[in-house]
Structure 1
Amino acid sequence: MNGKTHVTVGGLVGLGISNYVGADVPTMISFTLLGGFVGLVPDLDVNGTLANKITLNKKTVQAMLGFIGLFIIFYSFFYENGMEQWIGASIGIVLFIVPSLIVKQKTMLLLTGIAVLLAGIFCDELWLILFGIYIAVASLLPHRSLTHSMIGLAYFCTIGYLLEQKLQIEGILLVCGASYTSHLILDMKWIPMNRKGVKLFQPFSKFEL
């Protein structure tokens, strides 16, 4: 399934959850954007080609990393203090600018993951540390491997849970879990446009759905 479909469905999932939890308009917009972003996250295991229109192209990945950079900038100023605030904001600025200067997609993702990990360490935020690890590891994996499994889903739900506890905004975990799940469902082989499915239970089973 292509990236536009994933972001659209993920965004709709976020919008639906905002209505379910009775969110106000700013939160509804945030949930819609978050859902669209998370709907793309499993494809961070990009292989750098668009031959089968499964992976994300470089411009889409750069836009995603720019989104992460902006989020870290705003997060640092609103939820951190002192030196952590400025370190987090500086790393966010780097993430917003540097990806456009890197040629290889895998390299861009690996460096981004390391930068997000460092931001999490300096700001003492476990959810950000885990997200940095996710990006870095995803950049080293073949497409539709662990990011497209129950392990990947559980890992990202952990990130969503920690972020919800930090921001105290009900529904973040639901958006992360449901939007991530929407990606896995759309990549299953019973969808006509997919040449192959996903192995949800890897590395324990190669059974493909």
Structure 2
Amino acid sequence: MKGTTHLTIGVAIGAAAAAYYPFTFKNAAIYLAVAAFSALSADLDGTSMLSSKLGKASKLLRSFVLWGSILLAGGLAYMYFMYDQMHPELAVASIILFLLGFMTKEGVIRNAMVSIIGGGLLYAGIRYEMNWLMGFGLFVAWVPWLKHRGMTHTLWAVLIWGAISRGLEAQLQLEGITMVATAGYLSHLLADTLTPSGVKWFYPLYKKSVKLPG
């Protein structure tokens, strides 16, 4: 299912919550943001609308590393042949950078960038003693390395997301956040269940995909 479809469903859930609960513009914005983000979060285990911008950044970073290593090697060669100066440590660094840029897939760099963001959220949660933010940070840091449509597309992930959102609701003192976030995340799995690949709802206990005619 396309990310735009998941986003549309999430926005619809947020709009329904804004209409159901006592309305203020601030509350409506929170409901919409939480529902939309939740509807997309299951796809943090791969290229998605949430990580696509980082995917572009990772391509630039990979190119920078590659060309940086080549320029460094060229500079070292110039110094050696023109001035008979040799810098072994820089030569080793240029080789390592070249291998890193050549061998590292852009997706790995993107995943690392997402994990760094998750690590920052985890640190903030620890510093400010916010358990839900610690859980959210761990989720963001961990899931990019999982197989796509694996653990993030399970009933267990829905329960974890619900626990995180419950903490957020307590933090904001805003009724309905848990319901909205859980519904948003759940909508992603339900929508993917309608696709030919289906969803492994009970993985790893039950490894077959559940599919519904769409």
TM-score (norm 1): 0.71
1:58 matched to 2:63? The reply is: no
Query: Measured at CA, do residues 21 and 61 of structure 1 come closer, stay the same or move farther in structure 2, by a change above 3 Å?
Result: farther
In the superposition, relative to structure 1, how do residues 124 and 146 fare at CA in structure 2: closer, same or farther (>3 Å)?
same
In structure 1, how many angstroms separate the alpha carbons of the residues matched to 2:200 and 2:140?
20
Could you tell me which amino acid in structure 2 is paired with residue 40 of structure 1? L
Structure richer in helix, relative to its length: 2
1:134 offset after TM fit, Å?
A: 0.4
Q: Within 5 Å, which residues of 2 pair with 1:1-209? A: 1-46=1-46, 48=47, 55-56=48-49, 58-59=52-53, 104-188=109-193, 191=194, 194-209=195-210
Quote the Cα distance in structure 1 between the aligned partners of 2:35 and 2:54: 16
In our comparison, the structure showing a higher alpha carbon Rg is 2
- Tell me how far apart the structure 2 counterparts of residues 104 and 61 of structure 1 sit (CA, whole Å): 8
Q: List gaps (5 residues or longer) in structure 2.
A: 57-106
2: CA distance between counterparts of 1:121 and 1:37?
Answer: 22
Aligned-CA RMSD value: 2.0
Cα deviation digits, residues 97-140 of structure 1 (max 9, x gap): xxxxx982111111111111111111110000000110111011
Distance in 2, matches of 1:175 and 1:36, equals 9
Q: For residues 116 and 150 of structure 2, what CA distance do their matches in structure 1 show?
A: 20
Counting matched residue pairs gives: 159
Deviation at 1:61, TM superposition (A): 7.4
Give the Cα–Cα distance (whole angstroms) in 2 for the partners of residues 5 and 43 of structure 1.
Answer: 13
CA–CA separation in structure 1 for the residues paired with 2:23 and 2:136? 25
AA in 1 matched with 2:26: P
